[in-house]
Amino acid sequence: MGLYIETLIRADPDELWDRTQQPEQHRRWDLRFTGIDYLPRTPGKPQHFRYTTRVLPCLKVAGVGVAAGDRHHPDGTRTFVLRFSSPDPLSLIEDGSGYWRYIPTENGIRFLTGYHYRSRWGRFGRLVDRLAFRPLMRWATAWSFDRLRLWCERGIPPERSLRYALGDSTVRLSAVVLAVVAVPVASLAVAALAVLLPPLPFTPAARRCLRHPPERTGSAPPAPPAALIAPETS
């Protein structure tokens, strides 16, 4: 089963394209990546890239990929497709593919992604993926999309919105801890409020994004361009 995330962003199409296609801007808002670097490109060929993800403070995993984008559809829709793999044995993801779509509407741009991947480590890896890793990736993608939306719509830099999110989480957790210590009988109610209360308007939140394809035209993944080949792992 693949992952799907969608949000609506009220922004200039070129600005949104640049903030998602330029590596130095992409890694600022996308929680899934620590580093993204484009490799030298041959004219007329797809773009190869490398990526890194920090799993622990002292541990990173790396991978490679190849991507191609089309920003000249007659209806204004833009498409970006990619394939990726990681030769790193510590990476749960072995390889995968995905797409981004930018669909203009009267209310903004529907920015959406869908991607699939294969996991490593046999049955153990599939269990870890189903119970922990996949839900975490779904949340991280949605949270990052809302972080990007705040940057485009409200001008809140990703670094600042991260601080807002950490502050919001700290306040909620502190309220629960204080209730457990001071008024144990009310701790469950406080915990429920901490989870259910909506985030502040300037704080990123995964809950603002769709996490399943809506029943409407334009949500299906596009066919990859013929020039998009499997990424090299050497």
pLDDT in tens, 53-111: 987 777 889 999 999 888 878 888 999 999 999 999 999 999 999 999 999 999 999 99
Q: Quick one: 61 and 161 in the same domain? A: no
Clarify whether residues 214 and 227 are in a common domain.
yes
Cβ–Cβ < 8 Å for 103, 114: no
Q: What is the pLDDT of residue 1?
A: 55
pTM of the model: 0.87
Residue 73's CB is within 10 A of a number of other CB atoms, namely: 14
171-210 residue pLDDT tens: 988 888 888 887 787 788 888 888 888 889 999 999 999 9
Domain holding 181, by residue range, is 157-201
As a whole number, mean pLDDT of residues 108-129 equals 95
**Is residue 233 domain-shared with residue 126, that is, in the same domain?**
yes
Sequence-separated contacts (24+) of 132-136 with Cβ below 8 Å? 133/92, 134/3
Residue 232 predicted with pLDDT over 60: no
Q: Which two tokens stand for residue 113?
A: 């992604």
- 190 in the same domain as 96: no
The domain tally of the chain equals 2
